[in-house]
Copies of this chain bind each other. A is one copy, B any other.
């Protein structure tokens, strides 16, 4: 049950509404976890029932009233407990990998298309993440920021996202090169 703790971690820096959280956890930004709005609203409700976050209603003039949440002391304690417990190892779990495993027995055209898309997606996320890092460290160098910055957690997870997406991009490019060359060779025979 890490969604719970991902939400707590996301609320450490600032109060957020379910809607804002949902944007932070969606496709574009999620650098350390991913979840859909419905899951987040449900989790926030449970967290509040358990006293780990508190919400307050904020009426707005033109927009519907929103509910901002912040972490309680109990929430912080729970997060600390979670951080100290052993992590289960993370596994690669990716449809595309399954398809590539079967590459010799299925049509390669669609695979090439999907690998191209995936590589483009990885490049887009890399750009986004690198922009994010620049924003976080401001005018300091990375070394300087990581040594003395007061909030480095999000920076480190963003580095994780970059490492992951770089891997993604490189692997896609490698596989593309192989499949395309094999396709060219096969076509000639």
Whether A114 sits at the interface, judged by CB under 8 Å, is yes
Which bracket fits the contact residues of A?
Answer: 35 or more
B90 contacts A93, CB within 8 Å? yes
A83 contacts B111, CB within 8 Å? yes
B152 contacts A104, CB within 8 Å? yes
**Cβ of A92: which chain B residues have Cβ within 8 Å of it?**
30-34, 160-161, 164
Whether A42 sits at the interface, judged by CB under 8 Å, is no
What 20 new A-B contacts, CB under 8 Å, besides A30-B91, A32-B100? A2-B95, A10-B101, A12-B105, A33-B91, A33-B97, A34-B92, A79-B102, A79-B105, A82-B99, A83-B99, A83-B111, A87-B94, A87-B118, A90-B93, A90-B95, A93-B93, A100-B160, A159-B171, A160-B175, A163-B171
